[in-house]
Amino acid sequence: MKKAIVVGASSGIGRELARLLAEEGYTVGITGRRKDLLEELKKDSSENIIVKAFDINDHPLALKMLNELVIELGGMDLLIFSSGTGEINKELDFNIEKETINTNVLAWTAIIGWAFNCFIQQKLGHLVAITSIGGLRGNPNAPAYNATKAFQINYLEGLRMSVHKKGYKIYITDIRPGLVDTAMAKGDGLFWVMPVTKASKQIYNAIKSKKSVAYITKRWGIIAFLMKILPRSILCKT
């Protein structure tokens, strides 16, 4: 039986992915800050779920709990990182920017690096991170959020290059959602907001296919292409 860990399974995409994995026969370790929601997921989904509640911003505790989780699972074949934060912050309130950077860069890097090194030791595994289409360009309304997602995208690309040189059977999947109906979808005039269930099924299929990069839902790949080629001069006038 395959073993997976989902970091950030108390709500949204992470919760739905954990449920899908359990349905597909995985033994799943789920993490998050809200233990009651994790226990609720375990009760509703499968006996093959192990709960570990912690805050990813407490790096020593997070890594300690993750190591314990791997032991309890009996190994780790797949890790999905689906935890993060981001707020509209036009006024550049430093406390908001700091929280975003601490969570999306420092805590993220600690856990992604830990998982990557675990897979390097066993020379196989699958590392998945939910980044964002927002990481492709800047955002005047949430500068830190888009910047941290750009960091994640580039970090994963670096890990993918490293694995390629080593020749191990380690897969790095960068999931770049557009707008999904979760607490992370903020702002006015949102469009193409997809239900969590639909987005999660596409993500799960991308994971099964071991894709390097996947835009969720698929139509957001068109937006991604346009974002990449849009001249900076036009963006600065908006």
Strand ranges for 148-198 from DSSP E: 169-177
Cα separation of the two ends of the chain: 52
Q: Give the pLDDT confidence score for residue 187 in this predicted structure.
A: 45
**Edge-to-edge order in the sheet of strand 213-216:** 49-53, 27-32, 3-7, 78-81, 124-130, 169-177, 213-216
pTM value is 0.89
Instruction: Sort 152 into a burial class: Cβ within 10 Å, 0-12 / 13-18 / 19+.
Output: buried
Residues of the chain short of pLDDT 70, as ranges, are 46, 180-193, 220-238
Q: Give the pLDDT confidence score for residue 44 in this predicted structure.
A: 83
Q: Give the pLDDT confidence score for residue 39 in this predicted structure.
A: 94
Q: Give the pLDDT confidence score for residue 140 in this predicted structure.
A: 87
Q: Give the pLDDT confidence score for residue 189 in this predicted structure.
A: 44
Domain map (residue ranges) of the chain: 3-237
Which CATH code is given to the segment(s) 3-237? 3.40.50.720
Q: Give the pLDDT confidence score for residue 184 in this predicted structure.
A: 52
Q: How far is Cα 116 from Cα 204, in angstroms, rounded to an integer?
A: 20
Q: Which two tokens stand for residue 206?
A: 């991308």
Q: How far is Cα 138 from Cα 235, in angstroms, rounded to an integer?
A: 9
